Structure 1
């Protein structure tokens, strides 16, 4: 059967998120998570559908990509077909030709599992590698320690607090209460929680959103931030510990997160919260449009 690619439409987002959920397992290479789709949902269901690409054969979804910005496709593939040559070659063609509507001409980036054949074929086609990222993982077999600060699980009535901490944690963030409600309206948020940490004076000092992929599967932290006026006080560690505890309560087998390796402070914060670094990963990068098609 031929491989069919395209956008799923709003009605197909649930199927794409469901496929991503099924593909998560402990020991998997760093890959797109249903929580990544859920976090993107802050822009609304229609924008999310427009940013998602799927590859299917015989009615089964084999690959899901999220266009994160204009030139980065975050792609993952069903574990049993990561070395499928027909799928890998179709992916390379779709990524190489702007007319396919996946990536623009010129400089572009692809995030894909390290063990996928598409990595090899992109290298043959002249795609290089970009800056390293560090995935980190915390096992959730054992109970998680107390974070040492007050933690609030944010609901609809307190969305403004969550949004304010997000804006105070990331320069240029435009996250608003309306964005939170859009995100919470997406299907992935049924397995998610937003947490806010408070200091002794009652000020909101850090926040995180955690995404479960279902019982017995890895859960994701995306995003985590500490208010710029409260950094250096251990709140990043505290909210990361609280995130791990929330995911364990949701049935997750482990908690995972990924951060640029150049952000040494973030890597150290997660490590202090019991997350163990895994081998670095790099996106594939195309610097020119005239990439070679693999033989």
Structure 2
């Protein structure tokens, strides 16, 4: 409640938590695009939601959450796992106390439909008032991650290997490399087809690095947030048969060049600090590491 000049109490503007429709996801992505800038900490990017479209349009809408006040989206979250929400807030709402308190409530109460009971995690940008409130509520910190950034003001060097765009006809190459890179059976040809349906996919590029025999060695998907804004690497992978030959650096450099052509001001990525090889690859591709960050965790 807030007091008026006459001393009467009126209700504060209610913050509304929503699971958007497919069209509503477009509004959430538009808000995320607006909030991206080079000075911002590592945060949820439109490309994070775009990459989730590999599971389908309805499936992506089901894992997105928005928090709005008076019709304006103030925060966007995405359930990367049932127990992990990745989120960020509007640039002018980092210290909005009403929003921060509402977020803590919604993250803490399973009946709100964001996180379940038990052990859960929150990925949120550094500098949010939310972190102070989570600490007071007893939330801890998880393993460290390393954010890496590369400025794109200057021309990007030649990657030094054969690079070509991964279109729908190369969907199998895309799936094969990702399955090998991440030692999983999940990526299929359909991944490449479904992410093409992502809102703003016109601002994304899938690229492949090929060896001298024409075999796919590495792939990357990069996402622009619009001209003059930071782009994102999500994901990058090297086939197990081609590791240690510089393909990771090469495909990352190619991705940076593609983002620069699309008007991105910089490119960013975040990887577990324990992934020493990954951190080294991004540094070799001209990225600079920023101070480590960590998810917030609630243990059982």
The TM-score, its normalising length taken from structure 1, stands at 0.96
Q: Tell me which of 113, 119, 126 is aligned to 2:138.
A: 126
1:116 aligns to what?
A: 128
- Tell me whether 1:102 sits opposite 2:114 in the alignment: yes
TM-align CA RMSD: 0.8
Q: Which residue of 1 aligns with 2:240?
A: 228
User: What are the within-5 Å matches in structure 2 for residues 20-169 of structure 1?
Assistant: 20-169=32-181
Output the CA distance in 2 between the equivalents of 1:139 and 1:83.
Answer: 28
Which of 281, 285, 295 in structure 2 is aligned with 1:269?
281
Q: What is the Cα deviation at residue 188 of structure 1?
A: 3.1
Structure 1: how far apart are the matches of 2:214 and 2:90?
45
Which of 15, 30, 44 pairs up with 1:18? Answer: 30
1:218 aligned onto 2:214? no
- Once residues 183 and 203 of structure 1 are traced to their aligned partners in structure 2, the CA distance between those partners, rounded to angstroms, is 23
Q: Is the 8 A contact 1:138 1:256 kept in 2?
A: yes
- Deviations for 1:15-40, whole angstroms, at most 9, x for unmatched residues? 00111111100021110000000001
For 1:175 and 1:227, how far apart are their aligned partners in 2?
13
SS at match of 1:75: strand
Contact 1:133/1:258 (CA < 8 Å) preserved in 2?
A: yes
Task: Give the deviation of 1:173 after TM superposition.
Answer: 4.1
Give the counterpart of 2:207 among 188, 191, 195.
195
CA distance in 1, matches of 2:115, 2:205: 32
Give the alignment's TM-score, normalised by structure 2: 0.95
* Deviation per residue, 1:206-263 (Å, 9 max, x gap): 0000000000000000000000011000111101110110110110000100000000
Contact 1:163 1:177 in 2 (8 A): yes
| Number of residues of Structure 1 aligned to a counterpart in Structure 2 | 288
The residue aligned with 1:253 is 265
Give SS of 2:81's match.
coil
Aligned-partner Cα distance in 1 for 2:148–2:258: 17
Structure 1 distance, partners of 2:22, 2:86, is 19
Structure 2 regions of 5+ residues with no counterpart? 1-12
Which SS does the other structure have where 1:182 is aligned?
Answer: helix
1:176 equivalent in alignment to 2:217? no
Query: Counterparts of 1:77 and 1:283 in 2: how far apart (Å)?
Result: 16
Q: Which has the larger radius of gyration?
A: 2
Counterpart Cα distance in 2 of 1:123 and 1:213: 31
Q: Tell me, what secondary structure is at the counterpart of 1:239?
A: helix
Deviation at 1:144, TM superposition (A): 0.2
Q: Is this contact kept in 2: 1:37–1:188, CA < 8 A?
A: no
Which ranges of structure 1 fall in alignment gaps of 5 or more residues? 289-295
Distance in 2 of aligned mates of 1:173 and 1:92: 36
